[in-house]
Amino acid sequence: MHRVFQDMAADDAVAILPSGHLDSNEDNMRPAQSSVHRRTGLGVVAARAALAGVLTLSACNDGGTAGGDAGSPTDRLVAALGRRDAIEATTNERITASGERFDPGESSVPGTTWLVSEFTMTATTELGADRARTELNVDAAFPRRAELAFTEVRSGGRGYVAGHDNVFAAGPTPPLAIPAARVASAEKHADLVSPLRLLRRALAEEGGIRADGLAEVDGKELEVLRITLAGRPDVRMFLDPASHLPVKSETTEDHPPIGDATVEAIYGDYRKVGALTLPHAVTLRVGGLDIHKEVRSKIELNVGTDADFYALLGDTSAAPHDHGHAVFAQRSSEWLLSFGFMGLPIFYDIQTGTPKSAELAPGVHLLTGTTHHSLLIEMSDHLVLVEAPLYEEWTAGVLEEIKRLSSKPLKRIVATHFHYDHSGGIRGIAAEGGVTVSVGKAGADFFRDVFARPHTVSPDRLEQAKVPVAIDEVESLKRLTDPARREVELHVIETEHAQGMVVVYLPAEKLLFNADLFSPGDPINEKSAGELYDAITRLKLDVERSVGAHGAGAAGPVATLAAPKEAAKR
């Protein structure tokens, strides 16, 4: 398995996943490219809509139950998926699938995705109750390779995981309680990828589904249904004009740092399963980029489950239901799940509170979090912060700690690179006002976009403060000179990890700060550590100590550069 870069153009060439193909470069996908308007994603939807129509016609020829034009759009949807009594009598759905997960927030080039894992899974979900059991095998490719296999069970807002779900763990663990955010994001995802589940949930809630007019998609008028479920942003479901089957469901999530993110679940390859007609291919698309492709080899309905099947094992009271974290997950579920599919379940633990600070040199503080650290540098009359990670819920505490350490105003944030987990909290800090953000040139457009985009799903501090934020593009070197206090150098270096990567060097202190290339105390990534070491050598930086945005941080030793040096020699 190789890391796969997917750019927008290649993405738009993907028509649908008609018969178990995942590879967008398959020759049989190519004809779709010419028939699709590539300016927007809507053309692809239309192509899918047309195909869904064809599939249903053949289902009709086979004696299928596609509905007529009578009644409301909801009636037409119900008739297309199956008979109402059959839909309501369905107790559960078991999906056996394989697929790929891509991520737009951790790729090398802003605006592209890359493959983070391949997976196979069997997911059994009850339709009339919040109970689910998923067996997942994840072949993780990024940020590190690992073969993971685990079982996740959810029941009544709680859940546990058993097995190996963490690329940093040595092996499987016994059943462990999972946090509320993991339960909530998995449930929302399960609904979005299954029109049957979405419909059942919508029908069960008063006013849960209603007609929402027509939407013109590539010259065709599609009926739209609006699904309103408690605690979640609305979902709009688009029906194919011929078959009345859902072409896609669309919702908006909050994905730090980009804010409002359109999430589309695009359904295809509809086939009969008993009395129902269900999609056997689902693609999730965020902001026009495919992030999840799933092909179902089998869908079973009304499977028998014994009493133990959904029983919660382990001490699930150890992870008490946290409403705030569940709310976070309801509006940012695919953001969280992307880290889950990387084998980084720690992201489901929503981080709040304040970092621990340690003064590495006079006026130079490392602010250490559970997973992500920042560096605060005091200049004579202002402060510079390197890294504003995760999300505003975390950087609110970073800001608190900064104010405790110094009364000087924060005037500059250095963003090492655009990765979502390293930049997600930047708007919350920039909302203080009067802040310039220094970024590597290749990431400048991304950050300009971050400060311009709407954040309506979760209106953040900047959405409310509406203060301007200046972007400072660093081509290769920027010196922040402050003769009274110190000099700070921002170097942009070449890395595979991310374009426009900035490392921060303090010449007088002989201190280097980097993100993701070399994290003291963490396992070495030879490629990244080697790139860092080569850059230090080329730039002739006299580094005595190195700290990372991850790793041992203030609590552990500040590393020397022996480790990347060794990596570079290999």
What is the binding site for Zn ion (CB under 5 A)? 419, 516
Nearer to Zn ion, 18 or 424 (CB): 424
Give strand pairing partners of 410: 383
Q: Which of 444, 332, 431 is nearest to 390 (CA)?
A: 332
Q: Which is nearer to Zn ion, 182 or 419 (CB)?
A: 419
- Please calculate the CA angle 449-454-457 and round it to the nearest 5 degrees: 135
- Shortest distance, CB of residue 352 to Zn ion, whole angstroms? 19
CB of 148 to Zn ion, least distance (A): 19
Angle between helices 195-204 and 73-81 (to 10 degrees): 130
Q: How far is the CB of 468 from Zn ion (least distance, A)?
A: 27
Closer to Zn ion by CB, 106 or 294: give it.
106
With CA atoms as reference, report the closest residue to 138 among 97, 170, 179.
97
- We find the least distance from the C-beta atom of residue 384 to Zn ion, in angstroms, to be 20
DSSP-assigned beta bridge partners for residue 136: 121, 150
Q: How far is the CB of 131 from Zn ion (least distance, A)?
A: 35
Nearer to Zn ion, 264 or 516 (CB): 516
Closest separation in Å from C-beta 389 to Zn ion? 8
* Phi, psi dihedrals of residue 238, rounded to the nearest 5°: -100, 130
Nearest approach in angstroms of CB 198 to Zn ion is 34
Alpha-helical segments (H) within 387-523: 392-405, 420-423, 426-430, 444-452, 461-465
Residue 385: CB minimum distance to Zn ion, A: 17
Instruction: Supply the minimum distance, in Å, between the C-beta of residue 62 and Zn ion.
Output: 50
Burial class from Cβ neighbours inside 10 Å (0-12, 13-18, 19+) for residue 452 reads exposed
Nearer to Zn ion, 381 or 496 (CB): 496
In terms of CB distance, is 144 or 403 closer to Zn ion? 144
Q: How far apart are CA 128 and CA 111, in angstroms?
A: 39
- Cβ contacts of 487 within 8 Å, gap of 6 or more: 479, 480, 481, 506, 507, 508
Q: Which residue has the tokens 């011929």?
A: 242
Query: Are the C-beta atoms of residues 285 and 8 closer than 8 Å to each other?
Result: no
3-state secondary structure 406-419: CCCCEEEEECCCCC
Residue 479's CB: how many other CB atoms inside 10 A?
Answer: 11
**Nearest distance, CB of residue 339 and Zn ion, angstroms:** 11
* Long-range contacts formed by 168-172: CB under 8 A, 24+ apart: 168/144, 168/343, 168/344, 168/523
In the complex with Zn ion, which residue's Cβ is closer, 460 or 516? Answer: 516
CB of residue 185 to Zn ion, shortest distance in Å = 20
User: With respect to Zn ion, which residue has the nearer C-beta, 67 or 548?
Assistant: 548
Q: Which amino acid is at 472?
A: D
Strands (DSSP E) along 205-258, which ranges?
209-217, 220-227, 235-239, 246-255
Q: How far is the CB of 287 from Zn ion (least distance, A)?
A: 19
Please identify, using beta-carbon distances, which residue of 193 and 515 lies nearer to Zn ion: 515
Q: How far is the CB of 180 from Zn ion (least distance, A)?
A: 24
Name the one residue in this structure whose structure tokens are 């669309």.
Answer: 250
Q: What is the DSSP string of 210-225?
A: EEEEEEEETTEEEEEE
- What SS3 class is residue 464? helix
Contact 20, 298 (CB under 8 A): no
Q: Which is nearer to Zn ion, 270 or 339 (CB)?
A: 339
**Residue 204 vs 346, nearer CB to Zn ion:** 346
Write the DSSP assignment of 71-103 as a string of letters. S-HHHHHHHHH--HHHHHH--EEEEEEEEEEEE
Q: Over 350-417, what HEC string results?
A: CCCCCCEEEEEECCEEEEECCCCCEEEEECCCCEEEECCCCCHHHHHHHHHHHHHHCCCCEEEEECCC
| Residue number, nearest CB to Zn ion | 419
> Closest CB to Zn ion among 315 and 496?
496
Q: How far is the CB of 38 from Zn ion (least distance, A)?
A: 29
Nearer to Zn ion, 331 or 419 (CB): 419
Helices within 100-176 (DSSP H only): none
Q: Is the dihedral of CA 200, 204, 205, 211 positive or negative?
A: positive
Q: Which is nearer to Zn ion, 200 or 419 (CB)?
A: 419
Structure tokens that stand for 417 in this block: 């690179």
